[in-house]
Amino acid sequence: MIWLTWRQSRAQAAMMAAALAALAAILALTGPNLADDYSTGIAACTTESDGCSQFVQRFFHDHQGSFLAVTAVVLVLPALIGLFWGAPLITRELEAGTHRLVWNQTITRTRWLAVKLGLTGLAAMTAAGLGSLAVTWWSGPVDKSAAHDFPRLAPLLFDARGIVPIGYAAFAFALGVTVGMLVRRTLPAMAITLAVFVAVQIAMPLLVRPHLIPPKHATIEITVANLDGLRGRPGTGPTEAILRTPDAGAYAGAWVLSGQAVDASGHAIDTIPLSRTGACAPPEGGPAPPPSGAKPGDALSGCFAELKRLGYRQQVTYHPASRFWPFQWYETAIYLALALGLAGFCFWRLRHRLS
């Protein structure tokens, strides 16, 4: 049965192996240079006055295209496995009637399905694992430079790094097989598999992942780190302050779920109202350029003191960057459990309903 499974899927396996080999070759050729550029750049910029922020921005900008491309490859790979390996696994036999041939050899259906599911499933997980491993290794320097815009723990990057792609591939494969068994035709099975998989992949980071570990809460003062800007109508000066989520210090690389402004009594507010004559008002005659040598925010230090006095703060809900691996393990385990559940359903269905 192992031979038959291999014989039936060797074309697909060869295609996947070729694609992965091509990806690995490209990454292996460019990866060391990329890592060198980053480490030398970082070593050079520590002596500069404004730190490494300029170099990091430039480095990310230079490699943004390939960074997004390899990330997309890892994101799409499990879906492709579900569509082209999972869905046709059983429907192909049902459509051609060959299940009636193979189920009448001296091998039980349960064993037939076990070998097909087991081997192809393991191959799917291996392919996704290798792809993710290569991409995670290659994009390490770019991920560091992108931590500002794309923290590793936040959706998108989290789904395309580490070990979760293995779980996704196992789940997508089992999902494809299950849907195929239920609808019994390849094309509708592929369409439904894609729709369900995409829905699950969207629902997971929105609804489930934030609660896998209880998020941390913090109430922080408003400083230059989390003030996005002051807004007002022309000629009237600023009337409200707008906050952003902090991304430095303890929050570097963190997955910030929310950053809510609260007033002195602890009520959540959308924007912070400012008085036109307070410390946050611009100097007479319009905004003056900040004197050279002053750190940004110096001009606003009075404003921050004023906001603090009035009791305005920001409540932040977040997962610190150190939780990347716990989250990866939890999520992989969840997807593997889902895949096993679907596989169990397949065996049940095969014994009781399918013919």
Residues in touch with other proteins (CB under 8 A): 1, 3-4, 7-8, 96-98, 100-109, 352, 355
Considering beta carbons, is residue 46 or 104 the nearer one to other proteins? 104
Rounded to a whole number of angstroms, the minimum distance from the CB of residue 122 to other proteins is: 20
Query: Measured between alpha carbons, how far is 242 from 226 in angstroms, rounded to an integer?
Result: 9
Question: Of 100 and 231, which CB lies nearer to other proteins in the complex structure?
Answer: 100
Minimum CB separation of residue 87 from other proteins in Å reads 17
Question: How far apart are CB 181 and other proteins at their closest, in Å?
Answer: 16
For residue 354, give the nearest of 8, 6, 89 by alpha carbon: 89
CB of 11 to other proteins, least distance (A): 8
Separation CA 195–CA 87 (nearest Å): 13
Taking CA atoms, 48 is separated from 37, 52, 55, in Å, by 17, 7, 10
Q: How far apart are CA 148 and CA 240, in angstroms?
A: 26
In the complex, least distance from residue 6 CB atom to other proteins, rounded to whole angstroms: 11
In the complex with other proteins, which residue's Cβ is closer, 9 or 136? 9
Pick the closer one to other proteins by CB: 120 or 314.
Answer: 120
Closer Cβ to other proteins, 58 or 351, answer by number? 351
- Least Å distance between CB 19 and other proteins? 21
Residue of 237, 252, 234, 241 lying closest to 322 (CA atoms): 252
Residue 152 C-beta: closest distance to other proteins, Å: 43
Output 211 or 353, the one with its CB closest to other proteins: 353
Tokens read off for 185? 């035709």
Comparing CB distances to other proteins, the nearer of 30 and 98 is: 98
Q: Which is nearer to other proteins, 112 or 168 (CB)?
A: 112
Listed in sequence order, the residues at least 6 apart from 269 whose beta carbon sits closer than 8 Å to its beta carbon are 261, 262, 263
Residue 13 CB burial class (10 angstroms; 0-12, 13-18, ≥19): middle
Q: Min. distance of Cβ 180 from other proteins in angstroms?
A: 17
Q: 6 or 137: whose CB is closer to other proteins?
A: 6
**Minimal distance in Å, beta carbon 338 to other proteins?**
29
